[in-house]
Amino acid sequence: GAVVSQHPSRVICKSGTSVKIECRSLDFQATTMFWYRQFPKQSLMLMATSNEGSKATYEQGVEKDKFLINHASLTLSTLTVTSAHPEDSSFYICSASGGAPYEQYFGPGTRLTVT
Amino acid sequence: DAKTTQPPSMDCAEGRAANLPCNHSTISGNEYVYWYRQIHSQGPQYIIHGLKNNETNEMASLIITEDRKSSTLILPHATLRDTAVYYCIVRVKFRNDMRFGAGTRLTVKP
C-alpha cells in the first residue's frame, strides 16, 4: 500500500521555540493531507486539512497562527508549531490522500515534548 | 457523518477469534464502514472497509448486518501483536474527511 513518512519521529523543544514536522507521501501524489493531534489515552482529533497549493482549512478551536501548515508540493506537507508551550506536547499524525476514491494513508506519527 | 458506538475495551485469548462490534444505527445509504487500528505510539493502520456485503482480506473479516446498523470486525486467530485500539468509522467514500471516535482497546492475552 501507499507509504507516508513523518520526520522527526520524536522531538523535544523548549517552551517558546518553534518546531517543524514534515509529512511526505513516498510513492503517490497527495492532493490532500490531514493533520491530527492525539493526547494520551485519547482518540485522534483532526486539526486541519490542506490541499496542495491552497491554504489549509482548520477545525474549530485550532489556532491557525499557532499551527502553520504548508502543503507546497504533492508529496510534502509541513506543520509548524509556533511558540510551543508544554500543553502543545502531543502525538501529531498526518495522513495523505491521493484523490478518488479518497483513501487515507497515515504516517507513523511525531511525538512532540515541550519542556 | 453518522456516529459509531464501540465498547471501550475487550479481552481476547491468544489464538482465538476476536469479534469487535460496532453500532452505526444512523448510517446513510452512501456511507461505508471502515476499520482502522492503532498500535501504541504508531499511526493508524487500515484494516478493511465495506458497504453492505461481508468482506474478507488477509487481516480480518467484516460482517455487516442486513440493515447496516451494526457491524463486526473479526480477527480469526488473534495474536499478541493484535493488541491495539480498533476504530470503526463510517464515512462517504468519496469525501476526504475521516473522524475518529473513542475506539475499542483490544488486549490479546497469552
pLDDT of B45 higher than 90 = yes
Chain B residues within 8 A of A43 when measuring between CB atoms: 87, 100-103
- Specify whether the CB–CB gap between A95 and A41 falls below 8 A: no
- End-to-end CA, chain B: 38
| pLDDT attached to residue A101 | 64
A108–B43 CB contact, under 8 Å: yes
Between B83 and B96, residue with greater pLDDT: B83
| pLDDT attached to residue A40 | 92
Cell numbers placing A115? 519542556
CB pairs under 8 A between A and B: 52
Tell me the nearest-neighbour CA distance from A10 into chain B, angstroms. Answer: 11
SS3 B44: coil
Tell me the nearest-neighbour CA distance from A39 into chain B, angstroms. Answer: 11
The model's pLDDT over A53-69, given as tens digits with 9 standing for 90+, comes to: 888 999 999 999 999 99
Rounded to an integer, the average pLDDT of B57-77 is 97
The model's pLDDT over A15-56, given as tens digits with 9 standing for 90+, comes to: 999 999 999 999 889 889 999 999 998 999 999 999 888 889
Beta strand residue intervals within chain A, DSSP E: 4-7, 10-13, 19-25, 32-38, 45-51, 57-58, 67-73, 76-81, 90-97, 104-106, 110-114
**Distance, C-alpha B31 to centroid of its chain:** 15
Run of H or E including B73: strand B70-75
Chain B residues within 8 A of A97 when measuring between CB atoms: 96
| pLDDT attached to residue A98 | 83
Q: For residues A37, B99, B20 and B44, what is the CA-based torsion angle, rounded to 10 degrees?
A: -40
Rounded to an integer, the average pLDDT of A83-91 is 97
A49–B96 CB contact, under 8 Å: yes
- End-to-end CA, chain A: 37
Tell me the nearest-neighbour CA distance from B77 into chain A, angstroms. Answer: 23
SS3 content of chain A, % helix, strand, coil (to 5): 5, 50, 45
- Specify whether the CB–CB gap between B81 and B75 falls below 8 A: no
Residue A88 phi/psi, 5° resolution? Answer: -85, -10
| pLDDT attached to residue A52 | 84
Closest CA to B82 of B55, B54, B60, B57: B60
Tell me the nearest-neighbour CA distance from A19 into chain B, angstroms. Answer: 20
Tell me the nearest-neighbour CA distance from A22 into chain B, angstroms. Answer: 14
pLDDT of B1 higher than 60 = no
Amino acid residing at A103 = E
Q: Helices in B31-91 by DSSP H: which ranges?
A: none
pLDDT of B95 higher than 80 = no
CA count, 13 A, side-chain hemisphere, B4: 28
| pLDDT attached to residue B14 | 97
- Per-residue confidence at A100, pLDDT binned at 50, 70, 90? low
pLDDT of B2 higher than 60 = no
SS3 A54: coil
CB of B97 within 8 Å of any CB in chain A?
yes
- Average of per-residue pLDDT values in chain A: 93
Q: Which of residues 8-67 of A touch B (CB under 8 A)?
A: 32, 34, 36, 43-46, 49
A1–B46 CB contact, under 8 Å: yes
A102–B44 CB contact, under 8 Å: no
Per cent of chain A over pLDDT 90 is 77
Chain A residues within 8 A of B43 when measuring between CB atoms: 4, 6, 93, 95, 106-109
SS3 B76: coil
